[in-house]
A = this chain, B = another copy of it.
C-alpha cells in the first residue's frame, strides 16, 4: 500500500504483510520471465539476486504458503510460477472498471499489461457529457449512474479510481454500494471504506519523495 496505512492479512493465523505479497508479485514476474527464456530450475540465490533481496527472505516469504523446492536443488521455475500465480489469485480473470475518463483514465484504458496479468477492463465511468459515449479500446464511456447495472451484469470486482480528488469519495461510495470489493485509488485524497473492502492508494509524489530523500541524503 502506498500513501496509506500499513496493511496486511491473515492466513491460517499467520500475519502476511503487504510487503510479502508485493515480493511475491516480483518473484512471479521474474519466474515468468525465466520460464519464457526456457530456464527450468533456479536457485534461491539467483532468484534473490534478480529480485534484489536474499535467499532467506524468499524462503520465508514462500514458507507462509507451503513447501516449495528442496534445499540445495533450487526451485522448478514453471511449478513455482504456477503456485505463486494461484496464491496471488491470478489463475483467473478479474473484471475491472475505471472510474474517471480523464487523461490518466485514458492512459490506463490503453495499458496492455492489464490483460497480460489477468485484469480485464469492462467499463469506464464519468459524469462529463462530453466524455460519455466515447469509445476507448472498444469500451464505451458511460455515466456513473449506470454503474450499478454494469457492475451487476459484468460481474465487476475491482475499480480503479482516477477521478479528481474532490469526487473520489462519492464515487467510491457508489461503486461500493454497487458491489465493488477492491479499489485502487490514484486520486490525491485519503478515502474511507468499510472493513470488508480492500483499498490501495497510489501516490506518485510519495514515490518521488523516496528519490529526493535518497538524493539529498547521499549529498549531505
Interface residues of A (CB under 8 A from B): 1-7, 9, 11, 16, 18-19, 21-26, 29, 51-53, 57, 87-90, 94, 96, 102-104, 106-108, 110-111, 113-114, 116-117, 119, 157-158, 160, 181-184, 188, 196, 198, 200, 202-218
- Quick check: A209 and B4 within 8 Å, CB to CB? no
Residue of B nearest to A196 (CB): B218
- Quick check: B211 and A207 within 8 Å, CB to CB? no
Known: A188-B113, A209-B88, A212-B88. A5 touches B51 (CB 8 A): yes
Number of this chain's copies in the assembly equals 2
- Quick check: A6 and B119 within 8 Å, CB to CB? no
- Quick check: B208 and A117 within 8 Å, CB to CB? yes
A-B contact pairs, 22 of them (CB 8 A): A5-B51, A6-B52, A6-B57, A9-B213, A9-B218, A19-B19, A21-B210, A21-B214, A22-B210, A24-B209, A89-B209, A89-B212, A103-B103, A106-B107, A116-B205, A158-B208, A160-B208, A182-B211, A198-B210, A198-B215, A200-B210, A202-B204
- Quick check: B19 and A206 within 8 Å, CB to CB? no
User: Which residues of chain B have C-beta atoms less than 8 A from A208's C-beta?
Assistant: 94, 96, 114, 117, 119, 158, 160, 184
